[in-house]
Amino acid sequence: MGALDKLFAQTVASVIRKRLGEKTYLSIEKRLEERWSITVSDAIQDFNKFDAILREIFGAGADAMEYDLLHEIFSLQSSKKGASLISIENPDLSKAILATYGNSEKRLILNFAFNTPAPILDILEKCDIPKSTGYRVIGEMLDDGFLTESGFSITSDGKKVNQYTSLFYEVKIDIKLDVLIVQVILKDELLTESNLVKVLKGKF
């Protein structure tokens, strides 16, 4: 499961429901439950399963449908520095990114964790965030997909502890005539492992 796909999963599911209608969405949901006992959002993160159900329902038209659905959410571009840049097209996802980076504690955590993947306790200590609120805040970012696991470290007593990192190398937020424009640059490996990105590139 790609970290970027987890971040986008709920938005993709919402767009599918809106674009294809409630009846079709429920048909997709039912088949996923019957075959693998998973939700639409879970299947999007494990895209082979989602793709299989769309092909079962729509046949060869699934390719174009997947591309159109995803293109409504994000597009791929190149920055002036040659890095791969993702432009967020979905307003709800743009607002979620803005809200996350507008929160001072979450922004501290994300900026620190990008440069230095670390266990949760270390992140909170380095960012000087109280544990009482810090675990809740990090839990929210893990659920929403803004933080992802990145290996592990070994404690002094020999235990493995998961390390976490943030997805975005750079976030550009602009507002023009009440239109929110969000562009993000990711770590290369996170972009490469995303099945949703592969669909837009025609390489899935």
Domain of 57, in residue numbers: 3-75+196-200
Q: Report residue 177: phi and psi, to 5°.
A: 50, 50
Number of domains in the chain: 1
The answer to whether 144 touches 100, Cβ cutoff 8 Å, is yes
Percent of the chain scored above 70 by pLDDT? 97
pLDDT band at 201 (very low <50, low <70, confident <90, very high): confident
Residue 105 lies in a domain: no
Confidence of residue 152 (pLDDT cuts 50, 70, 90): confident
Residue 55 covered by a domain? yes
Q: What is the pLDDT of residue 106?
A: 96
Residue 10 in any domain: the answer is: yes
pLDDT value for 50? 96
Tell me whether residue 109 is in a domain. Answer: no
For residue 22, is it within any domain?
A: yes
Q: Would 94 be classed as within a structural domain?
A: no
pLDDT of residue 188 exceeding 70 = yes
Residue 60 lies in a domain: yes
Does 190 map to a domain? no
Which residues 6+ apart lie within 8 Å of 138 measured at CB?
109, 120, 123, 124, 147, 164
pLDDT in tens, 21-75: 999 999 999 999 999 999 999 999 999 999 999 999 999 999 999 999 999 999 9
The CA distance from 35 to 193, in Å, is 25
CA distance linking residue 195 with residue 49, whole number of Å: 12
